[in-house]
Amino acid sequence: MASLSVPPTLPRASPAVVGAARGRRAAVRVRTAAAALGGGGGGGMEQHLGDGPRSPVKENPVMSNVGKSTNILWHNCPIGQSDRQKLLGQKGCVVWITGLSGSGKSTLACALSRELHYRGHLTYVLDGDNLRHGLNRDLSFKSEDRAENIRRVGEVAKLFADAGIICIASLISPYRRDRDACRALLPDSKFIEVFLDLPLQICEARDPKGLYKLARAGKIKGFTGIDDPYEPPVNGEIVIKMKDGECPSPKAMAKQVLCYLEENGYLQA
C-alpha cells in the first residue's frame, strides 16, 4: 500500500480513528439511503447527500447564469474548508506578493514556502513566470492580458485557499484594480497582500534576466517600471522595505511574513 509522507507536526490517524471514520461514513450511507426511500429524520447532511425524492436538487433546483455560462447549478460537498483546515492544522489563505520585476518576489515565495514546509505547513507557490509557461501561455503583457492573467491566478489561488492550503502567489500584478479584484474573491482576512517595496534602481541593477537592459534599449515595449506603470498597494497587509540602504535577506523577508501569519492565527486551524 502506498504510504503518505506526513510532516512531523501533523497528527497521524491511528487505526482506531480510521476505523471510527469508516464507521461514520457507513452511517452516513445508511442515513442517505433511508432519506432516499423517504425515511430518516430530514434536515442535516443526508439532505445534501441524497439524490432521491427528498433531494433539494430535484425538488427545487436554483439555476444560475454566470458570465457566459447559463443554467448552471452550485453543488455543495459535505466536506468543507473547515474540515480540510482541521486536517492540516492551518487556515487556507492567499499570500499575494507584488512588486517590480527583480524585486525578489520569486525568492521570497520560495523562502516562505520552505520556512512553512519545515514547520509542517502545506503551501503551494503560484509564480507568474511559471504560470505563463502553461495556464497563461496565451496572454501577453498588454494591460487587458495582464488583467486576465491576474484574474485567473486569483481564481486558482482562491481554490487553493479553499483546499486549506497556504497559497503563495508571486506576480508583478502592477495594477491596483486587478489585485483588489482578487482580494474581493476571498473573505477579507484570507487575502494577505505583500508589497516588495524596492526602488526601481535596485531592481534594474539586479536585472537577472537582462530584461531592463532590453527595455531601456527599446527592444521590449511596455515593460513594468520603464514604459508601463506599477501602482503600489495603498492598504496592503505587509510592506517589505530596504533598511539602512540594505535589502533584508530572503530569510528575513520570509520571517516577516511568517510572523504575520503566526500572529494572525493562520498557522492553526
Ligand X SMILES: Nc1ncnc2c1ncn2[C@@H]1O[C@H](COP(=O)(O)OP(=O)(O)O)[C@@H](O)[C@H]1O
Ligand Y SMILES: Nc1ncnc2c1ncn2[C@@H]1O[C@H](COP(=O)(O)OS(=O)(=O)O)[C@@H](OP(=O)(O)O)[C@H]1O
Query: Per CB under 6 A, which of residues 113..142 are in contact with ligand Y?
Result: 128-129, 132, 141
Residue 171 partner contact from ligand X, ligand Y, none using kind-dependent CB cut-offs of 5 to 8 Å: ligand Y
The interface mask with ligand X, positions 152-191, x = CB under 6 A, is ----------------------------------------
Angle between helices 143-162 and 176-185 (to 10 degrees): 20
Q: Are 96 and 235 spatial neighbours (Cβ–Cβ below 8 Å)?
A: no
- Is 130 a binding residue for ligand X by CB under 6 A? The answer is no
- The three-state secondary structure class of 29 is helix
Q: How far apart are CA 194 and CA 172, in angstroms?
A: 11
- Is 171 a binding residue for ligand Y by CB under 6 A? The answer is yes
How far is residue 200 from each of residues 121, 203, 204, 205, measured CA to CA in Å?
33, 5, 6, 8
Answer for which of 161, 253, 261, 267 binds ligand X (CB under 6 A) is 253
Q: Are 259 and 134 spatial neighbours (Cβ–Cβ below 8 Å)?
A: no
Q: How far apart are CA 223 and CA 210, in angstroms?
A: 12
Answer for which of 102, 154, 164, 174 binds ligand X (CB under 6 A) is 102
What lies within 8 Å, CB to CB, of 171 at 6+ separation is: 96, 97, 98, 105, 126, 127, 128, 131, 149, 150, 153
The interface mask with ligand X, positions 185-224, x = CB under 6 A, is ---------------------x-x----------------
Among the residue ranges 3-11, 71-79, 99-107, 134-142, the one whose residues contact ligand X (CB under 6 A): 99-107
* 106 is annotated as an active-site residue: no
Residue 132 partner contact from ligand X, ligand Y, none using kind-dependent CB cut-offs of 5 to 8 Å: ligand Y
Task: Provide the minimum distance between the beta carbon of 19 and ligand Y in the complex, in angstroms, as a whole number.
Answer: 48
Q: How far apart are CA 199 and CA 248, in angstroms?
A: 13
Q: How far apart are CA 99 and CA 199, in angstroms?
A: 10
Q: Choosing from 106, 173, 189, 249, which is the catalytic residue?
A: 173
- Is 107 a binding residue for ligand Y by CB under 6 A? The answer is no
- Is 146 a binding residue for ligand Y by CB under 6 A? The answer is yes
List residues with catalytic annotation.
173
Q: Which residues bind ligand X (CB under 6 A)?
A: 99, 101-107, 206, 208, 247-250, 253
